[in-house]
Structure 1
Amino acid sequence: MRDFKQDVKASGYIHRPLPLDSSRSFEKQQLEKEAIAKYRSLTDNFQNWQQRGRGEIKQTEETVTLLSATRYDTWAKGAPEDGDYVNFGEVGAYLPIPREDWSEFTQIKLDIAAECVNVINPNITITLENDGEIKIPDIYNREGTHVINLEGQAKRTYVLDISNLPRDVVTGIRIFTGANGSYMNLQGQLSYTISSLFLEQNQNSTSAKGWKVPSQEIVFSHIGYHPDYSKTAIINSEDFTAATFELKSEDTVIFQGEIQETTTENGTFGVLDFSTVKEPGTYYLQIADMKTPNFQIGAVSTLKADSIWKSLNFIFCERCGCPVHGIHGTCHEDLTVEYKGSLVSFNGGWHDAGDLSQQLVQTAEVTSSLFEAAETVKAQPDLYLRLIEEGEWGIDFILKTRLDEGDRVTSAGITRWTDNRIGTMDDAVPRIHNSPYDNFLITGLLAKIIKSLPRDYAMRAQLLQVVKEDYQYAFAGFKKTGFKHEPIFWEHTYNTSKSLFLATMSWTAALMYQLTAEETYQEQMTEWFDELLTCQEQTGLDLSDGTILKGMFYRDETHKVFQHFNHQAREHLYALAFEEVLTASPKHAKAEKWLEHANEYGDYLDYLGQFTDPYPMYASGIYREDEWQDKESFYRQHLLVDDEAEVSYQEQLKQGIKIGDDLYIKRFPVWFSFRGNNGILLSMGKSAAVLGRLLNRPTLLDKGHQQLQWMVGKNPFGQSMIYGEGYNYPQQYSVSSGELTGEMPVGMQTFGNEDQPYWPQFNNATYKEVWVGVAGKWLSLVAELIKSEKGYQ
C-alpha cells in the first residue's frame, strides 16, 4: 500500500499532482472479479464502421482507428459562431447494429491503443443507442454515454458495464473523441485504435440501481466513524445466515452484536450497530468468513486529514492560468473581455468542472472553504500554509475580476484548450454583470475569510477596504433592482430565491458588523433577517401521521413553493445566517425568538434524516404537488428543459413519499438535465453541523458526519465517490484534465423519473462530472465538524 504522507511530501506538498492509486479502484476490481459465461465478438462487423464528424477513420478487418488534428481554424458544423462552450469538433466512428436484443449481455469489452501527440488527457467516448421501450441516449443526451480516460497510450483492455442500461433494441455504437486543443498549442495529433470489441455476459456484474446492498457485501463508511456518534453498517439480510457480527482489531474481537433486521420504505436490511464502541483505532467488521477492509474510529481531524490533502490536490489540479505538472501548461490567457476601452483577463481561479468553464462565484466559494479549512488545522503547519496558499490563488482571481462600482467579470463558457493568443478565432469572451446578489455573496465570502485571518496578515487591510466598497455597491444595486436575477442562466446563482437572497444579505451584513462594529450593518442585518423569517414555515403543516411540520423555508413570503435545490446548492446559507446574526447580536431583544426558529429549522433537518434509512443520505426535501404551476420559479430552478418537464415533475413527485394532502418527500430532488446530489447533501450537512454546534444538538452533528460517510462507501453500491479515498472508487467524467486524486463528482442520480439511487459505471455529465464546488463543500463541512469537536480551540 502506498505511503500517503510520502506522496504528499514528494509532491512538494501539492505543488504537483499526487500520484493516482488505482489499486483500490472500481475498474481494477471489475476485471478481477469477472466470471464470463458467454461472449460474442463484434469484430466481424468492423467493415461496417462509418466515419462521423471531423478527421478520418481507417479500418482493417480487426481494427478501426480515429485520426484527427487536435484543433481547427473553424468551428464544427452546427457550433455557435462565437464558439461558446464547444471544442473544435469531434472525430468519430459509428457502427450500425440491426436492431438486436443484447439483454443477455452485461458488459462491453474492448482494447484501445493510442498514438496521440501533445494531447492533454487522451480519452475516448462510447455511446450505446437503443430504440426499445426506453430510448437511449435520453432526451437530455446524458444516458448511455461513457468517457474512458486512458491509462497511458499502450494497448489496454477496458470494460464497460451495460447491465443496467436498456438494450432490448440496440441500433448502434458510436465511438468518438474531441478535438480539444493541445499541450501549449504545440502541433497535435489524435490517434486511437479500437480492437477486440466483445459483448460479454459477466455473472458478477453489479447492480447500479436501487437501495439493495450488493450481494455478499457489507456496506460501511470507508472514511470511518466518530467516537461520539452512531456507527452502523448495512447488509442484505437474505445473503447471510449468521445472526451475529464481530468488530475486530488485528484479529482480536472487540465487540460482538446481533444483526438487527429492519424494514423501511426502501426495503428490508440487516443493520450492524456498534455505536457503543468509542475507543479510537483501526477496525474491521466480520460476518462468518466475510470481512470488510480496515477503517478507523477517531476524531474528525484524524479521519479526514488525508481527505483534506486529496481535496486540495483536486482543486490545485483544476487551476486555470497556471501550469500544472503533467497535465497542462499555462492556459486560457486569451479569455479577455473589453471593458470601458480596455481588455480584462479572465484566466485564473479554478476550472469549474470536468470541462474548462470558469465561474467567479464557484471560485469564490471554494476560496472561502480553503480558508475555513485552514483555520481548523493550524496545528499542522504544512497543511495550514498550503491551504492558505491555494486560497490566495482564489483571492487573486476574485480581485482581478472586480471592475467598477459592482461590475464583475463573472463567467466564461469554454471546454477547450485555447492557443493563448489574443485575437485568434478560438478566443472566448467572458460575461460581465453587475448582480447585487453575487456582490453580496462574494462580499460575505471575503468577509468570512477576513474574520479568520490573523491581525498581521499582509493583505488584511486591503481586503477590508474591498469588502466595505463592494458591500456598498451591492446595496446600491439592490436599492435599484431589488430581488432581480441574472439574465443568463449559465450564471451559478441563477436559481436564487428571494429567501436565499435575504439569507445571504443578512449573513453578509452580520459579518460586516462583526468586522467593523458599524451600526448600519447591524440595522440592515436585523431588517433583512426578520424579512427572511417571514419566508419560514412557523405555524406548521398537518401531516397524515399527525406530525406538525415546520421550520423549512419557502422561496419567498407567499409560501407557495418550498425552497429546494437540484444542482447548485446553498442550503447552508440559512444556517449561516442564524449563526452569524446570533453571533453579531447575542443580546438582541429578538435573540431568543431567533434561537427558537433556528431550532425549528433543525427539527426539519432531523425530520428529513429518516427517509433513506438505514442509509445516511438526507432526503432532498418537501414538495408541493402544484409547484410546477409557478412557471417563473420552476424555470429558474430547472435549466435546459422544455414543457415535458412540467409533466415529468408530477411523475417524479408520485415516486416520492406522500406525507400529507398534496405534500411529498423526495429522497432525491426533482430534476431533469442536471442531476447529482453531492453538493446538495454537503450543503445540508453543513447546515446540520452549524446548527448542531450552535444549538448543542448532537443528532444534527451526527447527520453532518453521515453525509460524508454516504459519499465514501456507505451507499447502496459500496463505492467511494472520491477518487483515491476509501475503496472501490470509479473513473469519473474528468474529460479535460484526466483522473485526479481527490476528484469528486456532482453526485448520485436517479434513472428517469424514479426516486431511488442510480449509479452506473457510465460517467457522463453531470452526475459523474468532477466539480470543484463539491470539493469546496467537502472542506467546509469537514472544517465545521472539526470546530464542533470537544476541546477544539
Structure 2
Amino acid sequence: MDRQFKNNLIESLYVHYPLKPEYDKSMETYNLKKPVLSSVSLWDGTSLEPWSFDGEGEVQVKDGKILLLETKSRADHWPDNEVRANDAAAGLYATFGSYIAKLNVKGLELGKGNRIWFKIRPICPGLHSPIVRVGFVNNGVTKIPDVYSREGFNAINLKNNEWNTCTWEIDSIAHDAIEELSFNIHRYGKEVSTGDDLRFELCDIQLQEVKPGVVHGWQCEEEEVVYSTTGYFTDGRKTAIANTSAKEFEIVKEEDGLEKEVAYRGQIEKVESHLGSFRVLEFSDLKTEGTYRIRFGNTVSERFIIGNDVLESTLWKLTNFMYCERCGYPVPNCHGTCHQDVIAEHNGVKLVYAGGWHDAADVSQQTMQTAEILDAMIASAGKVKESDPMLYRRMMEEANWGLDFVLRMRFGDGYRASHAAIRRWTDNFIGNMDDCEADVHNRSFENFVFAAVEAGAGEAFKELDQELAWKCVDAAKEDFRFADERFREAGVEGPYHLLEHTAGSSLSQYYAVAAWAAGRIYKITGDSYFYDKAAEYADKVISCQETRNDLPMRGFFYRDETKTHIVHFSHQARDQVFAMALAEVCGALSEHENKAVWEDGLKLHGEYLKGLQKYTAPYGMLPAGIHHISEADDQEAFHVVHPKVDYERERINYVEQLKQGTDLGNGYYVRTFPVWFSYRGNSAIQLSMGKAASIIGTYFGDGELIEIAREQLYWTLGKNPFGQSLIYGEGNHYGQEYTALLGETVGEMPVGVQTRGNEDLPYWPPANIATYREVWTTPPGRFMWVAADLI
C-alpha cells in the first residue's frame, strides 16, 4: 500500500472520518494549468444592468467588482417554480427553489472562446458542501440547453469561505451563439450544521480560449497513453492504448519516487479496427510487483502499480464513499443525522425511513440499492479477510449498517418500505411541510433479491454476530415465501412509481433472482422446499436464453419465454442476475440431473460475452449487447425500459441509434452503448456485464472471461479514451462529479460515460449534471461485486 495513503487511512481512523482527496491529481488542477490563448471579460463589475434575477433573494454590487448574491437555505413554503405542494409531500425531488443570476452577453464579441472561467466565494455558515450550477443559453443552429436539460449546465463543487477559481470547457457543446450565462444557487435545505443564509460572491467572469481536451470518440490525446491509472493484476494481460508516432516503449520501475530501472521494453503495435487506428502497448510478461511508469518519446505517464493487491486502495475508497452516503447518521465533516421525517406507513403503523445509504447525489433512498451494495461489500470483504484484516473488518462494519436498514424496513407480512424520491435536507421534525412519504409495497422481485441478500449476509456474519446471522436466514426464508406467493398471484408487476429502479424488470429477471435466492437459502438450510424452487426457476431462466445457431450471436437472454424482446438496460442494470442465478444453483444443487443443462447455459452466456468484446477492441469495455430492429415497435417494453419518455417522438431515434451500431444483418445490431434517451451513463451496465463475466470465468476457471471482467475495472480506472479515472480520488486524472447535496467525496462514482445524440461513440464532457456525471451508489456496488471474483 502507498505510504501516503496508509497515513491518510490512519488519520481517518480507518474511514471513520472521511478520507481527504488529493486535489493535485484532479482534472480541475490539470486544467487550471492550461495556457490561455485568448480571453474576453463578460462583466466589468460596475453595474447590475446586464443582469436579471429569478427566485427569492437579494443582490448588490460590492467593491465595484463583485456580485454579491444572498438567499435563504430553505423556505417555509414550496416555490412556484418547484413541484406542487401535494407532490412535494410525497417526495418527488422537491427542493426549496433556487436563486438564479442571469448575465446577458448577447451582442458581445466572444471570439473563439471555449472555456468559461470565473471566481466565486461561498460564505455559507455551517454548509459542508456549497455548490453553484453554471449554465448558458446558445441560440445557434443547435439549441442549448437541450430537450432534456442535460447539455448546457455544470454544477461545480466549492470550498466554503474561500475564493474558488472555476473553469468549464464547453468546446464539445454548441456555443456559437451564446446569449446568456447563469449562476444558480440551489436551496436544498439545512442539514444539522447549516445556517439560515447562503451568500456567494462572484467576480472576474471570462470566456477564454484554451486547447480543448478529448471528450468524444475513441481516440485519446495526441502523444498520450491511457491505462489503468491504479494499476494491473500481477498475472494476466496488461495493455495500454496510445495516440503516438513512437515505435517503442519502456516500463520504468520506481522506488521511493526515484527511477530504479527499465523493467520492460516493447514494440508499440498498430491495431486497426472498425473504431479506428490505435497504438497498443502490451507488457503482460512483466510480472514483478512494484510501482511503474510508461515512457515513450517525450511522454511519461503517472505512476501505477502491478500487484495482486491492486484493488486494495480502491476498496478502501469505495467504502469511504458509502460511509459518507449513510442516511440517518452523522458523518463527520460531511453531514449530520438526516431524514428522520421521511415516513413509511403500512396497516396503521409507521416507521422512519432513514438508514442504509443514499441512492445518489440527490440523497434519495431505495432499499433495493442498499441491499445489492451490501451484498457486494460482503463478497469483496470476504476476499480480503486474510490479506488485509483491517479492510475486512471495516467493510463488514459498513455492510452491517446497510443490513440493519434492509431488515428494519420489513413490516413482517411481505410489505416493505422501499423508496423515497427526495432531493433536500429535511428538518427532522415530523408533521410539517418538508416531510416526505416513503413508498411501501410487496413486489415479488424485490423480496426475491432481499431473500438472496439476507441469506448471503447470514452466511457472512456467522463468525462476527451469530444472532444477527440467525435473523438474516430467518428473514430470507420468510421473504422468499412472501415473494413466491406474490409472484404466482401477480406475476410481473407494473411500477408503483416510475422512479423505482426495478420497474423495468422482465419476467426472465424475476426467474433469475428467484433461482439465485432459492439456491442460496438451500445451501444454508438444506430445506427441500428451496431445493425444488431453485431447480424450477433455474429451468425457467434457461427457457429464456437464445440457443439457436442461425443467428449472428447466441447465449443472450430475452425478457420472457416468447423470445421476442432481448433484455436491455439503459440506466440501472442487472445483467449479472442470469449468471448469478445459474452459478448459485449449480453450486448448491451439485447432484441435480439438470446441472449440465444449467452449466451449458452459463457457458453459452460466457461465449456471448467473449463475442461482444471484439466490438470495442482494443479497449476492453463490454458493449451493451445485441439488439433487433423490431424492438422499436414494442411500445409496452419501451415504456418500462425507458420511463418518462415519449414513445412516438423517440421511436425514430431508437431506430437511428440501432443503425449507429454495428449491423449484423437481418435486423440485428450490436450497440456499444445502450439505446437511451434522458437517462444516460454506462457504469452500471458495463460493470453488471463484467460481473457476469467474472462469475462464469470463476466458475469454469476461464482465463479469457476473467480478463474481460478485469478490463471493466481497468476502463473505470482510466483505460478509456479520456484517460480519466471514474472514481474520484483513486488513481489519477479524476474529475469533479455532480454531487448535489454531499460535496466531493473520495470513492464517489458517476452514472458513467454517455453518448451524444444518437451516436454510438463515447462522450464525456466536463459538465457535472444528471444523469451521466451524477454521483450514484450503484456503480461502487457493481465494482465491488466484480472485484470479489478477481481478488
After TM superposition, the score normalised by the length of structure 1 is 0.95
Taking the TM superposition and a 5 Å limit, the aligned residue runs for 1:474-489 are 474-489=483-498
Taking the TM superposition and a 5 Å limit, the aligned residue runs for 1:566-715 are 566-642=570-646, 643-715=648-720
What letter is aligned with 1:38? S
Q: Which of 208, 212, 219 is the equivalent residue of 1:212?
A: 219
Deviations 1:337-359 (A, max 9, x none): 33222221101111111111000
* CA–CA distance in structure 2, aligned partners of residues 356 and 295 of structure 1: 34
Evaluate the alpha carbon distance shift between residue 246 and residue 186 of structure 1 in structure 2; reply closer, same or farther with a 3 A threshold. closer
Evaluate the alpha carbon distance shift between residue 38 and residue 644 of structure 1 in structure 2; reply closer, same or farther with a 3 A threshold. same
Deviations 1:533-559 (A, max 9, x none): 11100113433xxxxx21111111111
Evaluate the alpha carbon distance shift between residue 684 and residue 90 of structure 1 in structure 2; reply closer, same or farther with a 3 A threshold. same
Give structure 1 regions of 4+ aligned residues with deviation exceeding 4 angstroms.
99-103
Mapped contact 1:119–1:188 kept (Cα < 8 A): no
Q: Which of 196, 204, 212 is the equivalent residue of 2:204?
A: 196
Q: Which of 136, 158, 161 is the equivalent residue of 1:128?
A: 136
Q: Which of 551, 562, 565 is the equivalent residue of 1:542?
A: 551
Q: Which segments of 5 or more consecutive residues in structure 2 lack a partner in the other structure?
A: none
Report how far residue 246 of structure 1 moved: 1.2
* CA–CA distance in structure 2, aligned partners of residues 387 and 667 of structure 1: 34
Q: Which of 160, 173, 180 is the equivalent residue of 1:152?
A: 160
Deviations 1:548-576 (A, max 9, x none): x2111111111111111111111111111
Secondary structure, aligned partner of 2:504: coil
Q: Which of 426, 429, 446 is the equivalent residue of 1:421?
A: 429
Answering whether residue 336 of structure 2 is matched by residue 333 of structure 1, we say: no
Report how far residue 103 of structure 1 moved: 7.0
Evaluate the alpha carbon distance shift between residue 740 and residue 187 of structure 1 in structure 2; reply closer, same or farther with a 3 A threshold. closer
Quote the residue 1:285 is aligned against: 294
Q: Which of 119, 123, 128 is the equivalent residue of 1:111?
A: 119
Mapped contact 1:219–1:235 kept (Cα < 8 A): yes
Q: Which deviates more from structure 2 when the two are superposed, residues 335-344 or residues 57-66?
A: 57-66
Quote the residue 1:37 is aligned against: 37
Quote the residue 1:433 is aligned against: 441
Taking the TM superposition and a 5 Å limit, the aligned residue runs for 1:255-274 are 255-274=264-283
What letter is aligned with 2:263? I
Mapped contact 1:514–1:584 kept (Cα < 8 A): yes
Mapped contact 2:687–2:783 kept (Cα < 8 A): yes
* CA–CA distance in structure 1, aligned partners of residues 303 and 194 of structure 2: 46
* CA–CA distance in structure 2, aligned partners of residues 435 and 186 of structure 1: 38
Secondary structure, aligned partner of 2:363: coil
Secondary structure, aligned partner of 1:399: helix
Evaluate the alpha carbon distance shift between residue 596 and residue 766 of structure 1 in structure 2; reply closer, same or farther with a 3 A threshold. same
Evaluate the alpha carbon distance shift between residue 101 and residue 747 of structure 1 in structure 2; reply closer, same or farther with a 3 A threshold. farther
Mapped contact 2:37–2:209 kept (Cα < 8 A): yes
* CA–CA distance in structure 2, aligned partners of residues 733 and 159 of structure 1: 15
Q: Which of 389, 394, 406 is the equivalent residue of 2:397?
A: 389
* CA–CA distance in structure 1, aligned partners of residues 427 and 125 of structure 2: 16
Mapped contact 1:720–1:726 kept (Cα < 8 A): yes
Answering whether residue 242 of structure 2 is matched by residue 235 of structure 1, we say: yes
Taking the TM superposition and a 5 Å limit, the aligned residue runs for 1:145-544 are 145-184=153-192, 187-202=195-210, 204-237=211-244, 240=245, 242-250=246-254, 251=259, 252-299=261-308, 302-379=309-386, 380-454=388-462, 457-543=466-552
Deviations 1:334-387 (A, max 9, x none): 111332222211011111111110001001111111211221111222111111
Report how far residue 132 of structure 1 moved: 1.9
Q: Which deviates more from structure 2 when the two are superposed, residues 436-445 or residues 150-159?
A: 150-159
* CA–CA distance in structure 1, aligned partners of residues 5 and 188 of structure 2: 33
Mapped contact 2:72–2:197 kept (Cα < 8 A): yes
For this pair of structures, how many residues does the alignment match? 774
What letter is aligned with 1:76? P
Deviations 1:148-183 (A, max 9, x none): 111232123111111111012222111111111123
What letter is aligned with 1:562? I
Q: Which of 721, 742, 759 is the equivalent residue of 1:737?
A: 742
Deviations 1:760-783 (A, max 9, x none): 110101111111111111111111
Deviations 1:441-496 (A, max 9, x none): 11111112223333563311122211111111111111210122332111121110
* CA–CA distance in structure 2, aligned partners of residues 186 and 248 of structure 1: 49
Deviations 1:587-629 (A, max 9, x none): 2222222222211100000011111111111111011112021
Evaluate the alpha carbon distance shift between residue 147 and residue 65 of structure 1 in structure 2; reply closer, same or farther with a 3 A threshold. same
Report how far residue 56 of structure 1 moved: 2.5
Q: Which segments of 5 or more consecutive residues in structure 1 lack a partner in the other structure?
A: 544-548, 787-793
Report how far residue 586 of structure 1 moved: 1.6
* CA–CA distance in structure 1, aligned partners of residues 545 and 345 of structure 2: 43
Quote the residue 1:789 is aligned against: none
Mapped contact 2:122–2:159 kept (Cα < 8 A): no
Mapped contact 2:129–2:160 kept (Cα < 8 A): no
Deviations 1:248-283 (A, max 9, x none): 213422222111111111111111111122222222
Deviations 1:690-731 (A, max 9, x none): 100111210100011110110111000111111111111101
Mapped contact 2:133–2:156 kept (Cα < 8 A): yes
* CA–CA distance in structure 2, aligned partners of residues 179 and 490 of structure 1: 22
Q: Which deviates more from structure 2 when the two are superposed, residues 684-693 or residues 473-482?
A: 473-482
Quote the residue 1:13 is aligned against: 14
After TM superposition, the score normalised by the length of structure 2 is 0.96
Q: Which of 65, 80, 96 is the equivalent residue of 1:77?
A: 80
Q: Which of 55, 58, 63 is the equivalent residue of 1:56?
A: 58
Report how far residue 119 of structure 1 moved: 2.4
What letter is aligned with 2:371? A
Secondary structure, aligned partner of 2:428: coil
What letter is aligned with 1:224? G
Report how far residue 230 of structure 1 moved: 1.2
Secondary structure, aligned partner of 2:262: strand
Mapped contact 1:87–1:415 kept (Cα < 8 A): yes
Secondary structure, aligned partner of 1:51: strand
Deviations 1:41-83 (A, max 9, x none): 0014852110112222323553322211101010011422231
* CA–CA distance in structure 2, aligned partners of residues 668 and 390 of structure 1: 33
Report how far residue 312 of structure 1 moved: 0.3
* CA–CA distance in structure 2, aligned partners of residues 104 and 624 of structure 1: 43
Report how far residue 2 of structure 1 moved: 7.2
What letter is aligned with 1:112? I
Report how far residue 100 of structure 1 moved: 6.6
Evaluate the alpha carbon distance shift between residue 105 and residue 695 of structure 1 in structure 2; reply closer, same or farther with a 3 A threshold. same
Report how far residue 99 of structure 1 moved: 6.5
Secondary structure, aligned partner of 1:153: coil
* CA–CA distance in structure 2, aligned partners of residues 272 and 145 of structure 1: 37
Percentage of pairs with the same residue: 37
Mapped contact 1:108–1:160 kept (Cα < 8 A): yes
* CA–CA distance in structure 2, aligned partners of residues 601 and 583 of structure 1: 17
Secondary structure, aligned partner of 2:119: strand
Evaluate the alpha carbon distance shift between residue 2 and residue 451 of structure 1 in structure 2; reply closer, same or farther with a 3 A threshold. closer
Secondary structure, aligned partner of 1:365: helix
Q: Which deviates more from structure 2 when the two are superposed, residues 486-495 or residues 189-198?
A: 486-495
Mapped contact 2:658–2:671 kept (Cα < 8 A): yes
